[in-house]
Amino acid sequence: MTSSFSTVGLIGRRGTATIRDSLEIVLKLLLEKGVKVVVEADTARIMGNGRRKDRDRYERAARLELGERADLIVVVGGDGSLLGVGRDLAHCGVPVVGVNRGGLGFLADIAPEQIEAALGDVLAGRFREEDHFLLHARVMRDGAEVAQSPALNDVVVHQGGMARMMEISLWIDDEFVYDQRSDGLIIASPTGSTAYALSAGGPIMHPSLDAIVVVPMFPHTLTSRPLVVRGRSEIRVSVGGSDQNARISCDSQVDFRLESDDDVVISKYETPLRLIYPLEHSFFESCRSKLDWASRLGGGSE
């Protein structure tokens, strides 16, 4: 059986060699299906002294080049790895499928023991595809953009390592919403609603929703609640001038320092991330298994 994809890119979690076995299984499967394999250069170094005959049968490329050359990207790692790939390669429009070698696995849905069956189905064209939109954060200073980054999960305005409240002003589509004292503000996509925003009391949103949630972090008021707005909204956050340690983080992986009177402008990124899942994938099943929705009080069962 041949693959419905002609060129497949392979990316492994950075900074670890513990995923080498899964990478080798994925590589072996891809080669058996007769596809052209291009391995990210950093991932090729992780694989190290793999079988010589396999190393001679794949090419190596930088991550951004991989997005231009491949018509499918396989990511072996956790959700954090997929966040990085999403920020780096969403603009290429290449579909991405994840093999989970991390924690929860909301995004990377294929378990290591399912690689041959589940990934084999994907290669044969038996899969479902979901578009997950990203956020685009821009730091504006004196009317000019000084920093920017996409974010698949969330954009967080916070005080860094300083445990104290900050003064925050919020506008949505140029309409003033509120001034607030809190530990920070989380702006999350539906994809990110099950991540940091959830731990701060935000709602769980289905990935198909065209909406953005704004979640205050420990606000100094009993009436401040998460706010869900349209996905096409432009959100602007301003931090009080005395908050010299204020920062912005994107997916907890990209970080910028904010100066007095900076504005953080968040809107929908121009290109969504195309995520590939096995046909049996279910968002609600993921919630049941990852968030312990199936647990019963007292630990009993009927």
pLDDT digits (tens), the chain, 302 positions = 556 899 999 999 877 777 899 999 999 999 999 999 999 999 998 887 555 555 678 999 999 999 999 999 999 999 999 999 999 999 999 999 999 987 777 898 899 999 999 999 999 999 999 999 999 999 999 999 999 999 999 999 998 876 778 999 999 999 999 999 999 999 999 999 999 999 999 999 999 999 999 999 999 888 889 999 999 999 999 988 665 689 999 999 999 999 988 999 999 999 999 999 999 999 999 898 888 886 665 555 44
* Angstrom distance (rounded) from CA 141 to CA 47: 43
- Concerning whether 121 is annotated as a catalytic residue, the answer is no
Q: Active-site residue among 56, 79, 131, 173?
A: 79
100: nearest Cα among 181, 212, 22: 22
| H helices present in 16-171, as ranges | 20-32, 41-47, 52-55, 63-69, 79-89, 120-123
CATH superfamily of 7-133+272-297: Probable inorganic polyphosphate/atp-NAD kinase; domain 1 (3.40.50.10330)
- In this predicted structure, what is the pLDDT of residue 164? 77
- In this predicted structure, what is the pLDDT of residue 302? 45
| Domain 135-268: CATH class, spelled out | mainly beta
3-state SS, 239-289, equals ECCCCCCCEEEECCCEEEECCCCCEEEEEECCCCEEEEECCCCCHHHHHHH
- In this predicted structure, what is the pLDDT of residue 4? 80
**Domain limits of the chain?**
7-133+272-297, 135-268
